[in-house]
A and B are shown apart, each in its own frame.
Chain A
Amino acid sequence: MGLKKLAEKLADYKERLDLGQTQEIKPNHVEKVLKKLRSKVTELEADISEEDDPDKKERLIRKLSVAIEQVARAEWLLNEIHTEPEPAPSS
């Protein structure tokens, strides 16, 4: 899985966040995207089970592999965001 790449992108995002160039990602933001990705996985699985044409089935399976990869990445990201230490309160 491309988690190493994702970790690099996350580090880059955090740098931009520290510079105030972007908005903070909260767990609910990731969860919202994750929900959409999972719904696509379910939809593709249903399509694959109904498809008889081998070419079309192969294409759907390829799509599914990308969808699963995205779900795995989103889960990893959600975990990273959850385990992120809370910023120290300013006095």
Chain B
Amino acid sequence: MTRFYLPVAIGVLFFTFWYNSDIQEIAAGVAIFLFGMLMLEDGFKLLGGGALERMLEKATGSTIRSLMFGILSTTVLQSSSLVSVITISFLSAGLISLIGGVGIIFGANIGTTTGAWLVAGLGLKVEIAAYAMPMIAVAILLVFQKSKRLRGIGYALGGLGFLFLGIHHMKVGFDAFKDEIDLLRYALPGLLGLIVYCLIGMVATVIMQSSHATMVLILTALAAAQISYENALALAIGANIGTTITAIIGSLSANFQGKRLALAHLIFNVATAAVALVFITPLREVVDLISASVGIADTDYALKLAVFHTVFNVLGVALMLPMLHRLIRFLETRIAEPVPDVSQPRYLTEAVDAFPQTLESALRKEVMHLYDNAMELIFHSLNLHQHEVYASDSIETVVRQSRAPYDLDIEENYERRIKSLYSAIIEFSTRVGERSIDADVADRIYALRDVAGDIVQAVKSAKHLRKNILRYTLRTQGSVTELYDSLRVEIARIAVEIRKLEQEDPEERTALWLDHERSQVEEDARNAARRVEALIRKNQLTPNAATSFLNDSDYAYGAMRKLIEAARTYYIERDPAIAEVEKLLSLDEDELIDPHPANAPSPEGHKSVVENE
């Protein structure tokens, strides 16, 4: 299908250009208008510096806030498509809720009506091409500046200039066109007209992927008396359905949440359009009443169309808002959350690729997904079950009671659940790192990649333990079993401590607490070596078993160090200045051996540290 789309589209354009040269002017007007929208989007992206994304994160606290954000952002950006694509991206990255996302889409439908007002109120009444030329000329000067801000202003100004120029060319095209062909002859009255023109409006918007461009086309054609007011109303309704195509395309690369939002967008716009079509006569009367009350002339069909566009979108929101929770339940049932495939990345979808905030957040979640997989595999390789360890007050007891072997193909599990995710994380972070993103964000992306590397190293170390865990811990064999049990306990203890840190309120926790575990690991490693020496001297451990244990303890303590290192980097403060404080206060490797040598602490002796404050 897509293979034929481009040649057919070009063929149709050439045919119509040959049929009537004035269509060239209209088509060029549409093209210039769309180009202006792209420039405007680029300008706001440069100017915003992520401000829009940051606001979006905070704007979904309530339905009303989401709605207001959708209205405002679409009014400023003059593109509901851009707002819906950003919303899908944020939803896919887990930064906003589905109900918040749907609220924004509802708001965007109201925000987009400001475009019709702009064109009907200003674009068709003032000779805007006169403003467009100097705007474009000044804009191009700014676009070539080094400063990001000036470039942003340049793109936004140029975008606006091209929007104006596009409208001008459409107007000129229709004016010339009407001298030769009177499209009004093709106007269809009644229900047939409503349906046919509604379909035309929908198809035109799907092709141009912009309801804005369609609305401008309708308004200019209406102003040139090339279409009837009734048919223009139907075209506007159709454009509202067609505009959902951008969200649908955007959702193809998104996860199930993005797809739910695109479906919500489609349901909202189709339902609104259906209501508008059914109640077209009373709606027209309402539009006439409003127009008369605000002083719009009865024959000013362009402004009346803008009133109609606003009324039917506001009506749609008013009708759908009370049903919002029911709609969310329907979406959740219709597009069910897929049973998680642990071997596939859950968050690193193409939909999160466009914005720094979604990139970082998605990568963070994916690294946590890798950690969850890794801990499950590490626990199973030790013949332990996470839920038993986490639920118990005594890890030692759980370990002593865990003598049954866990049926596990560790290599296959490593390939499927660890390596596949790690590869996706490496590919993603490398790809993202090559793009021009803020140095702070890039640093955090690379740090998260390193966290993933540490987690993988920990799993690799745990893999080495598996053989002798099976050999020495399935039944009690004296000292050697106790030694291996102690390694199992210590690894489990680290997992428990990391879990505690994860469950703490982010405002109350600090990665510095992990220094306690780092110090303990070094102490345990030294004690284990001393214990082995003592057991050999007492002939309670064969040299073979001792050698195996010393090798394995290297792997075990290596795994613990890597897990702690991963957690320290993952949970370091996001505020760069506080992160610096944490780095300064953190103990170095050589300080871990004896952090407080002068006086071994006693609980009583240390009370003063806090009480003296």
* Residue ranges of A at the interface with B (Cβ–Cβ < 8 Å): 1-2, 5-6, 9-10, 13, 22-26, 29-30, 32-33, 36-42, 45, 48-49, 59, 61-74, 77
Contacts and interface: CB of A to CB of B under 8 A. Distances in A.
A37 B512 contact: yes
29 contacts: A2-B587, A2-B591, A13-B580, A22-B580, A24-B577, A25-B581, A26-B577, A29-B580, A33-B510, A33-B582, A36-B513, A38-B610, A45-B606, A61-B600, A61-B603, A62-B520, A62-B523, A63-B519, A63-B520, A66-B516, A67-B516, A68-B596, A69-B587, A69-B596, A70-B515, A71-B609, A71-B610, A77-B581, A77-B584
A25 B613 CA distance: 22
A73 B513 CA distance: 14
A73 B585 contact: yes
- Tell me the dominant secondary structure on chain A's binding face: helix
Nearest to B584: A9
Contacts of B585: 6, 33, 37, 70, 73-74, 77
B519 A62 contact: yes
B588 A37 contact: no
Contacts of A39: 508
A68 B587 CA distance: 12
Given A23-B576, A48-B603, A68-B601, 9 more contacts: A1-B596, A2-B587, A5-B591, A36-B508, A36-B512, A65-B595, A70-B512, A70-B515, A73-B585
A44 B587 CA distance: 19
Interface string B554-595: 000000000000000000000111101111110110010001
A89 B107 CA distance: 48
Given A23-B576, A69-B587, A33 B512 contact: yes
A40 B516 CA distance: 11
A59 B486 CA distance: 14
B299 interface: no
A37 B578 CA distance: 13
B609 A41 contact: yes
B334 interface: no
Interface in B517-535: 519-520, 523
A13 to B, nearest CB: 6
B394 to A, nearest CB: 9
B602 interface: yes
Contacts of A32: 578, 581
Q: Which among A29, A42, A77 has the greatest number of chain B C-beta atoms within 10 A?
A: A29
A39 B613 CA distance: 12
Interface of B: 508-510, 512-513, 515-516, 519-520, 523, 575-578, 580-585, 587-588, 591, 595-596, 600-603, 606-607, 609-610, 613
A55 to B, nearest CB: 9
A5 to B, nearest CB: 6
A30 B581 contact: yes
A37 B512 CA distance: 8
A72 B576 CA distance: 22
Nearest to B600: A65
B595 A69 contact: yes
A66 B609 contact: no
The list of the 5 closest CB pairs from A to B, nearest first, reads A65-B596, A63-B516, A48-B603, A36-B510, A23-B577
A25 B607 contact: no
B580 A5 contact: no
Contacts of B583: 9
Contacts of A73: 584-585
Contacts of A64: 601, 603, 606
A73 B510 CA distance: 15
Contacts of B520: 59, 62-63
Contacts of A71: 609-610
B513 to A, nearest CB: 6
Given A5-B588, A24-B577, A37-B510, A66 B595 contact: yes
A68 B509 contact: no
B596 A49 contact: no
A38 B612 CA distance: 11
Given A22-B576, A25-B577, A62-B523, A68 B609 contact: yes
Contacts of B601: 61, 64-65, 68
